[in-house]
Amino acid sequence: MLTRFENRPHALDVIGVSVAFGEVCVIDNVSFHVDVGSTLAIVGRNGSGKTVLLKALIGAVRASGTIRWAPETRIGYVPQKLDIQRDLPLTGRDFLNAKADVARAPATDAQRVAGLVNLSQSIVDQPIGTLSGGQFQRLLLAFALVGTPSVLLFDEPTAGVDEPEEKSVYALIHQLQQNEGLSVLVISHDMTQVQASADHILFLSHHGSYFGKTADMLNSERLQELHGPTVAHLRE
Amino acid sequence: MTYATGPGAFLIPLGMAAAAGLMGSIAVMRRMALASDALSHIALPGIAIALLVHVNPFLGGLIALVLGTVLVWAIEYRSRIPTDVVVGVIFSAALAMGSLLASGDELIEALFGAPNTSDSFNLIGLGAASLVIVFIVRYRSQLVIRLVSPDLARPAGINVPRLDLLYLLAFALTIALGLRYLGVLLMGSLIIIPAATAMRLGTNLRTMQTISVAIAMLATLSGMLLAPVLCLAAGPLVIVIAASIFFLSLAVRRA
């Protein structure tokens, strides 16, 4: 039986990618792909190399192996919580306009994306250092959406935000994916969200990496042996 | 002590001040205030060598700044040592070398500037100030994204190492512009103090940069006009005025 993404082209192919810092191998020979319009969840314990992998995908970290984005891919990246100076004289509008300028998007794009992520104009006009955790995460999401990306990369998009806001951010991501047909790569510790939204899972650990469809990954005996608690949580 | 006279004599200092105000606005937001001040000292050995071989000291300072800047950038990217640490080491070495090579009045002039100096570099100075201003205006969006996070800059298609090198070179050019008027010790201050004041008073990028440029130009103009009246050196007076505006700004509550 074919799943809904079986015949879709790939937005991303990663083949035998490794990352080492000096003598320390952080990621060893990882391979996976992302279908156009699908969601890949990257899971694993702290220190398993999830963030390093995303940074390798955006070219911020040197990696060996093959990382092949589909032609004309436009990437939007939402990093883990950023430390911003509180007194930085930059408003959300300055920040979004700067991205629109660099992405050669229309000047009205800043307003459009602010609306997409439900950020009011008064919040957009505040200095970014004064925004709450949830507001800032929405601003980062809006920043990623400027220039109409085809792929969104999220590194724990709800780190540092409270539970209601967390649900709201995930609902927003899901809605954007449905409406804009985006491919999504998301690092998450929230297994409920992973199970609900991911089409594929990439499991990273010091013992190796495992990639497959969400349902298959949940039933993997090998994974249960190695990562019992996490996989058990997923199965629940 | 001689002083600048005639409207033309103010053109380059004001161009330099505008460039310093704009450059400083990015530097303070990147938390490069101390590194900026130290970077200006890299000019010293170049000035000293230029004086020894009877070449224009501005040219010597500019060459030393460009070489030093490229060295700072290369060490930072090769070793992943933070900019302020690299600048700190190179600054100390440059200061020591400059002190060994220059002496007496020449050294004082290099450290504090000589606003009365007149030479054939006026036109080049004006061109260099324009170049710095055009750079900041042209690359403002990239610089803003880079200062918030390099990780956001890369996926946005910004070549971060190239942008950093261009920024440091523009920074070096701004310092070189001010060497004649303010000297090695004070030029870093004209870049940082007006921008630090503007950071307190501005609530968005445009107002912050406008305030920074306005304060740098106001301090420079008033310093140069008041120096002959008060029989004081113009360079230090410019910085004292800029610093006074900063302290006054502390009394203003931010919106």
ipTM of model: 0.82
pLDDT band at residue A6 under the 50/70/90 scheme: low
State what percent of residues in chain A have pLDDT above 90: 35
pLDDT band at residue A1 under the 50/70/90 scheme: very low
Contact: A79, B198; criterion CB under 8 Å: no
Residue spans per domain, chain A: 38-52+73-235
Contact: B204, A102; criterion CB under 8 Å: no
Q: How far apart are CA A101 and CA B153, in angstroms?
A: 13
pLDDT in the model for residue A220: 67
Handedness of CA B150, B83, B74, B128 (dihedral sign): positive
Q: How far apart are CA B189 and CA B23, in angstroms?
A: 12
Neighbours of A3 (CB within 10 A): 14
A18 CB near a chain B CB, below 8 Å? no
Give the count of alpha carbons within 13 A of B226, CB side only.
Answer: 13
Average pLDDT value for residue range A221-232: 58
B231 or B185, which is more confident: B231
Contact: B205, A94; criterion CB under 8 Å: yes
Handedness of CA B40, B217, B23, B126 (dihedral sign): negative
- A60, A89, A153 member nearest B205 (Cβ): A89
| Cβ–Cβ < 8 Å for B40, B175 | yes
For chain B, the residues whose C-beta falls within 8 A of a C-beta of chain A are 29, 31, 140-142, 144-145, 148-152, 154-158, 198-200, 202-208, 254
Residues B8-249, CATH architecture? Orthogonal Bundle (1.10)
Crossing angle between the packed helical segments B205-230 and B234-249, to the nearest 10 degrees: 130
Q: What superfamily in CATH does domain A38-52+73-235 come from? A: P-loop containing nucleotide triphosphate hydrolases (3.40.50.300)
Q: Tens digits of per-residue pLDDT, B36-67? A: 777 777 888 888 888 788 887 778 888 888 88
Q: Which one of B25, B79, B141, B201 makes the best mutation probe of the A interface by having the most chain A beta carbons within 10 Å?
A: B141
Write out the two tokens for A220.
């993997």
Q: Tens digits of per-residue pLDDT, B81-133? A: 777 777 778 878 887 887 777 666 666 666 666 655 555 566 777 888 899 99
Q: How far apart are CA B173 and CA B178, in angstroms?
A: 9
Average pLDDT value for residue range A161-187: 80
pLDDT in the model for residue A2: 41
- B144, B150, B202 member nearest A98 (Cβ): B144
Q: Which chain B residues touch A127 with a CB distance below 8 Å?
A: 203-204
Range of weakest confidence among A108-117, A195-204, B65-74, B174-183: B174-183
Q: Which residues lie below 8 Å from residue A214, measured CB to CB, with a gap of 6+? A: A41, A194, A195, A198, A199, A200, A201
Q: Which chain B residues touch A102 with a CB distance below 8 Å?
A: 141-142, 145, 156-158
Residue with the two structure tokens 């035998």 = A16
pLDDT in the model for residue A96: 95
pLDDT band at residue A222 under the 50/70/90 scheme: low
Average pLDDT value for residue range A75-99: 88
Q: Tens digits of per-residue pLDDT, A179-191? A: 878 899 999 877 7
Contact: A75, B155; criterion CB under 8 Å: yes
CA torsion angle B128 B111 B23 B233 (round to 10): -90
Q: Which one of A102, A121, A124, A131 makes the best mutation probe of the B interface by having the most chain B beta carbons within 10 Å?
A: A102
Q: Which chain B residues touch A87 with a CB distance below 8 Å?
A: 199-200, 254
Average pLDDT value for residue range A18-47: 89
Write out the two tokens for B129.
């100030």
Q: How far apart are CA A61 and CA A27, in angstroms?
A: 11
Average pLDDT value for residue range A23-35: 91
On the question of pLDDT at A3 being above 50, the answer is: no
Q: Which residues lie below 8 Å from residue A101, measured CB to CB, with a gap of 6+? A: B141
- A55, A77, A89 member nearest B202 (Cβ): A89
Write out the two tokens for B6.
């005639």
Residue spans per domain, chain B: 8-249
What are A20's strand-pairing partners? A25
Q: Which residues lie below 8 Å from residue A117, measured CB to CB, with a gap of 6+? A: A138, A139, A141, A142, A145, A172
What are A106's strand-pairing partners? none
pLDDT band at residue B203 under the 50/70/90 scheme: confident
Q: How far apart are CA A122 and CA A138, in angstroms?
A: 14
For chain A, helix, strand, coil in percent to 5 are 40, 25, 35
pLDDT in the model for residue A54: 92
Write out the two tokens for B43.
């000019």
- A58, A94, A125 member nearest B155 (Cβ): A58
- B157, B198, B203 member nearest A127 (Cβ): B203
For chain A, what is the mean pLDDT? 84
Q: Tens digits of per-residue pLDDT, A107-124? A: 888 888 888 888 899 999
Contact: A79, B204; criterion CB under 8 Å: no
pLDDT in the model for residue A133: 81
Q: How far is B6 from chain A (nearest CA, A)?
A: 37
Range of weakest confidence among A66-75, B9-18, B162-171: B9-18
Strand order in the sheet with A75-78: A75-78, A151-155, A183-187, A39-44, A200-205, A208-213
DSSP B103: -
Contact: A103, B148; criterion CB under 8 Å: no
| Cβ–Cβ < 8 Å for B91, B34 | no
Reference B15, options B113, B180, B125; nearest CA is: B125
Q: Which one of A51, A54, A85, A109 makes the best mutation probe of the B interface by having the most chain B beta carbons within 10 Å?
A: A85
A85 CB near a chain B CB, below 8 Å? yes
Q: In a 3-state reduction of DSSP, which class is residue A101? A: helix
On the question of pLDDT at A136 being above 80, the answer is: yes
Handedness of CA A86, A134, B143, B151 (dihedral sign): positive
Q: How far apart are CA A190 and CA B139, in angstroms?
A: 39
Q: In a 3-state reduction of DSSP, which class is residue A87? A: coil
Q: Tens digits of per-residue pLDDT, B68-85? A: 888 888 887 777 777 777
A50 CB near a chain B CB, below 8 Å? no
